[in-house]
């Protein structure tokens, strides 16, 4: 199996791949040469579906819609699928999701929070309890 090294730039929905390298050294060389803000390098093994989950942890994060304050809860999960669920209860967004780190989970939840708030502002809605499950496999 082959490992590729992705150079990523940006935050949240603006995050994108700007370069793919065959070695970590070449990826670092690209970052050193081109730089920029919010640059990160991730390594991924191609054609190995299990490697996707080796680097991820299933987490439950609760984030207040208005303030963005958050907390984590223990979450046991062994089934391997690309799937996440989110619920809004008492103006708190609850998400269970796969993430590389807690910081990564915060970014995912905060983007969903921003989307919910934007939708509320656009439509003039008030916060209501909702339950959703989204399959990200395509």
How confident is the prediction for the chain on average, in pLDDT?
Answer: 80
Element (DSSP H or E) covering residue 94: strand 92-99
Q: Say yes or no: 91 and 29 in one domain.
A: no
Neighbours of 46 (CB within 10 A): 9
Domain holding 38, by residue range, is 3-47
Q: Say yes or no: 123 and 72 in one domain.
A: yes
Q: Say yes or no: 130 and 63 in one domain.
A: yes
Q: Say yes or no: 74 and 88 in one domain.
A: yes
Q: Does the pLDDT value for residue 44 go beyond 90?
A: no
Across the chain, which distance is largest between two alpha carbons, in Å?
Answer: 51
Q: Say yes or no: 122 and 58 in one domain.
A: yes
Report pLDDT for 135: 55
φ and ψ of 112, to 5 deg:
-65, -40
Give the DSSP letter string of 12-71.
Answer: GGG-EEEEEESSHHHHHHHHHHH--SSEEEEEEETT-HHHHHHT-EEEEEEEETTT--EE
- Lowest-confidence region among 11-15, 66-70, 88-92, 100-104: 11-15
Higher pLDDT, 109 or 38: 109
* Mean pLDDT, residues 105-121: 86
* Number of domains observed in the structure of the chain: 2
pLDDT in tens, 65-81: 888 898 888 776 656 66
């Amino acid at each position: 199996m082959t490992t590729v090294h992705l150079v990523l730039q940006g935050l949240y929905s603006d995050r994108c791949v700007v370069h793919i390298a065959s070695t970590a050294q070449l990826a670092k060389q690209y970052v050193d040469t081109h730089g920029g803000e919010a640059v990160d390098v991730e390594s991924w093994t191609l054609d190995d579906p299990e490697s996707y989950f080796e680097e991820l942890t299933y987490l439950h994060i609760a984030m207040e819609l208005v303030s963005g304050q958050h907390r984590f809860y223990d979450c046991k999960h062994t089934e391997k699928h690309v799937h996440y669920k989110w619920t809004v209860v008492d103006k708190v967004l609850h998400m269970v999701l796969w993430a590389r780190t807690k910081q990564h989970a915060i970014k995912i939840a905060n983007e969903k929070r921003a989307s919910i708030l934007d939708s509320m502002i656009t439509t003039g809605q008030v916060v209501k309890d909702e339950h959703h499950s989204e399959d990200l496999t395509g």
